Amino acid sequence: MLMAQGLVELQRVAQDGMKVRAWAGASSFRTHGGLKKLQRVVEQQVETLAKEIEKDPGVGSKRAEAARQKAAQQRARRIERALEEMKEVEKRKKSQNGKKKSEPRSSTTDPSARVMKMADGGFRPAYNVHMVSDTAAKVVVAVDVDNAGTDKHAMVPMAEQIEARYQVRPSEWLADGGCNSLANVEQMAERQCQVVAPLPKPRGSKRAVSDPRPSDGKAVREWRARMITDQAKATYKLRGATAELVNAQCRGQGLVQVMVRGVKKVLSVALMHALAHNMRRSWALAM
């Protein structure tokens, strides 16, 4: 609607990720062995309740027992899902040399949630909400949710989402260092989109951040040269004025902790916050 009115052009956009606390406590995370042990206990509980319902002739008591049995069955299904999610958790926990950093754990309350590092430096069960906003109109144009602790993987899928929804490819993509990678720069260049993001600091090398590396492709070399210019530095400042504004608005609306479980339901919550933000922006733009 805003594009049809000429209020949003989608020439330059800003990406950012926001960690949102999940509806699960840290104590709900258990190891594979702990989940298996709990699964046996719950299965035995379901079986015992089923037998009690058959023996009890009282209708009122049967209803109470049936409710208890249903709750136990739901818990059993969540434990089963937690065991299924454990495979993915184990893959992420493996270090580069193939050894596990720590024993993987999955939540019995919300199996899709992952323990992530939050903005205050603490670690809590959370989801990662990704938003892309138009820098001129300050409206959200793409939203996604996942349970990955990093943002680098989200850039290209978000660009594809924008193109599929609006049939437009932004010419500039602003992102912080946590959202960018060399592979992103190359792939976005193939989409005729320039990435404006800070250069990574070299590790154990005295060469400047803008110096090209032997492994750099054409797009990465151009990005390194571009980011040391005053124009690119001035353009990058628009990222904070856009992405941080959107994040602050959503936090103010209550997007701090979700009270639903699973990626799809959390995405629904994030979309409602984006819509509420965009409604306010539409009123401001129309004035």
pLDDT in tens, 59-69: 456 566 667 76
- CA 120 to chain centroid, in Å, comes to 17
pLDDT in tens, 203-233: 766 788 888 888 999 999 999 999 999 999 9
Question: What is the predicted pLDDT for the residue at 82?
Answer: 65
Pairing of strands 172-174, 29-30: unpaired
Closest CA to 277 of 247, 256, 234: 247
pLDDT in tens, 238-286: 999 999 999 999 999 999 999 999 999 999 999 999 999 999 999 999 8
Residue 179 identity = C
Residue 228 sits at φ, ψ, to 5 deg, of: -95, 0
- Top CATH class of 12-24+112-286 equals alpha beta
Give SS3 for 52: helix
Written as one string, the DSSP assignment of 57-110 is: --HHHHHHHHHHHHHHHHHHHHHHHHHHHHHHHHHHHB-TTS-BSS---EESS-
Q: What is the percentage of the chain residues whose pLDDT exceeds 90? A: 57
Is residue 284 packed enough to be buried (19+ CB in 10 Å), middle (13-18) or exposed (0-12)?
A: exposed
**Euclidean distance between CA atoms 276 and 270, whole angstroms:** 10
Question: What is the predicted pLDDT for the residue at 92?
Answer: 64
Domain boundaries, the chain: 12-24+112-286, 26-107
Give SS3 for 283: helix
Closest CA to 10 of 131, 141, 197: 141
